Structure formats: structure tokens, C-alpha cells
């Protein structure tokens, strides 16, 4: 989790493809148990009920599963809504055999993505009362194949998506600087003609932060720092007259439980 705005989301066509692939992975059309237990069409109604309080996400892929299973939607809630134990999230009608075929995949989407939205909402709430509350942004540490859905879940929880992928902005990290020194690296990413891309550089200590700021970089990512060390880095920038106008991010090891301790560092996000 990171303490920036590109809209996060997944196109309906890509969501449908992902849902179909997930259903095929579960071989939803070849449910051996259901085919033996249920003979012929069996009309039924299914209800998805929240088992705990939280924030809803995952309705788009869940509904894609419903459509693929040729079921009818009777009632549904919208992503981003608050949930309480016992809340009816979704009501379906149709053939029980088809319901059982898509059930597990549909629930997996709702549970996994609502979990992300709920965790994000908890972090957002923890920093809301800070004098200068930071924003909560997601990272690229996503489940392969689920990035757009997981990024959207962060938004449903009140957060922001950050970079979608490697082509989205320039983020010079420690691995880059282990191969190429800072100034040559910056010279290479700064366009000699035309528009220079947005540049952000990862720093781990005061020395790196001062060097990056003096090189004219306006966006710094402080990585894997304790609250005390993050405050020391920001304080050093302030004393050197390098803090004003700089966008500061904190990343690495942040959780809803400890994020409040970082809020006092006063990052811009």
C-alpha cells in the first residue's frame, strides 16, 4: 500500500473474458456432483449474504458470471456500498444446476475484491482525522490477471490506483540506480525535446532524498521507512529548503493498523 490520478477500472469485455476463463478453470459446465444429484431443470432462488461488515467490490465480474450462467438478476447492490453482517448483496433466480456451476467463482470474486475494498476503507478511515490526512494509493503488487479489478477495488474503498503498469509514468527505483547512477539516469529519462514525462524517484535515506531533490525531481517515494525515519527524511528536506512543492509518497509495510503513525509525516499523498 502506498501513501496519486489515473482512472482505474476494467472494460466490460475484459471482465467478461476474465470471468469466463475463471469459470472454465473450475469446469463449471462439468459439475459431476450436481449432474448426479439434480436430474433436469430445477428452478431456484439464490441469495448472497454478507457475513461481516465492510465495503463491497467485485460486482462486475460477479454479474459476468451470472450472465454466462444464464441466470436472472432479481436484486443487487452497487460496488462501493457499505456492508453489514446479514446484508443481502445479490439475489438470483434460475436453474439450480447453473447456479451451483458459477457459485464458487462468483463468490471468490466478491469475497476477494470486497476484502481489498474493506482493507482500503479501514486505512482511509484511520488517517481521516490527521491534521493533513494523506491519501491512500495502491501499488502494482497485484494478483496476476486481476490488476484492473483489484485497482478498482481500492477505489471502491476510498483509495486511489497509482500506476497501472510499467508504461504509466517514470518511477526510477533502487534497482535502476544500482545499474545507472542518478544523474545519468535522470538525463536519459528527461526528454531533450518535447514533453518530459512525470518523473518520480525512490529514496531510502536522507542522503538519497537530498541528492534526488537537488537534481530537480519533484516527486519522491520514500520506501520501507519507519515513521521516525520518514519524518527524518522529510525534516532534512525541509531544513535544506527542498520540501516545498515536492510530492512525497510513503510505501512499504503500511497497513490499516500502522498507517496512522505515518500520517504525521505530512506527505502530499
Cα–Cα distance for residue pair 22/52, rounded to 1 Å: 25
* Catalytic residue list contains 103: no
Q: Which of 104, 229, 231, 246 is catalytic?
A: 104
Q: Residue 224: CA atoms inside 13 Å, Cβ hemisphere, count?
A: 4
* Catalytic residue list contains 200: no
Element (H, E) at 1: none
Which of these, 268, 224, 223, 215, lies nearest to 246 by C-alpha position?
268
Q: Which of 173, 190, 207, 214 is catalytic?
A: 173
Cα–Cα distance for residue pair 84/55, rounded to 1 Å: 9
Determine contact, residues 260/130, Cβ cutoff 8 Å: yes
First to last CA, the chain: 12
Cα–Cα distance for residue pair 85/115, rounded to 1 Å: 14
Q: Which of 103, 200, 223, 249 is catalytic?
A: 223
* Catalytic residue list contains 32: no
Q: Which of 79, 200, 202, 249 is catalytic?
A: 202
* Catalytic residue list contains 202: yes
Q: Which of 141, 183, 190, 239 is catalytic?
A: 141
* Catalytic residue list contains 151: no
Catalytic residues: 104, 141, 173, 202, 223
Amino acid at each position: 500500500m502506498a501513501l496519486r490520478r489515473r482512472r482505474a477500472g476494467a472494460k466490460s469485455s475484459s471482465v467478461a473474458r476474465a470471468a469466463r476463463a475463471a469459470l472454465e478453470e473450475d469446469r463449471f459446465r462439468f459439475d459431476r456432483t450436481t449432474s448426479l444429484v439434480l436430474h433436469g431443470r430445477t428452478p431456484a432462488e439464490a441469495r448472497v449474504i454478507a457475513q461481516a461488515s465492510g465495503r463491497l467490490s467485485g460486482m462486475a465480474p460477479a454479474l459476468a458470471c451470472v450472465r454466462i450462467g444464464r441466470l436472472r438478476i432479481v436484486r443487487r447492490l452497487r460496488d462501493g456500498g457499505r456492508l453489514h453482517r446479514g446484508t443481502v448483496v445479490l439475489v438470483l433466480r434460475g436453474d439450480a444446476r447453473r447456479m451451483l456451476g458459477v457459485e464458487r467463482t462468483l463468490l471468490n470474486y466478491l469475497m476477494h475484491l470486497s476484502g481489498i475494498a474493506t482493507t482500503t476503507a479501514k486505512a482511509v478511515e484511520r488517517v481521516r482525522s490527521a491534521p493533513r490526512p494523506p491519501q491512500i494509493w495502491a501499488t502494482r503488487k497485484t494478483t496476476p490477471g486481476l490488476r484492473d479489478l483489484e485497482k478498482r477495488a481500492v477505489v471502491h474503498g476510498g483509495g486511489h490506483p497509482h500506476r497501472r503498469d510499467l508504461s504509466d509514468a517514470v518511477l526510477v527505483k533502487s534497482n535502476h540506480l544500482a545499474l545507472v547512477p542518478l544523474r545519468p539516469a535522470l538525463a536519459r529519462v528527461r526528454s531533450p525535446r518535447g514533453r518530459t514525462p512525470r518523473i518520480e524517484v525512490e529514496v531510502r535515506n536522507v542522503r538519497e532524498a537530498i541528492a534526488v531533490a537537488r537534481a530537480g525531481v519533484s516527486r519522491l517515494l520514500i520506501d520501507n521507512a519507519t515513521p521516525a525515519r520518514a519524518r527524518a527524511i522529510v525534516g532534512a528536506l525541509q531544513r535544506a529548503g527542498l520540501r516545498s512543492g515536492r510530492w512525497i509518497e510513503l510505501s512499504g509495510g503500511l497497513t490499516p493498523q500502522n498507517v496512522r503513525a505515518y500520517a504525521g509525516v505530512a506527505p502530499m499523498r
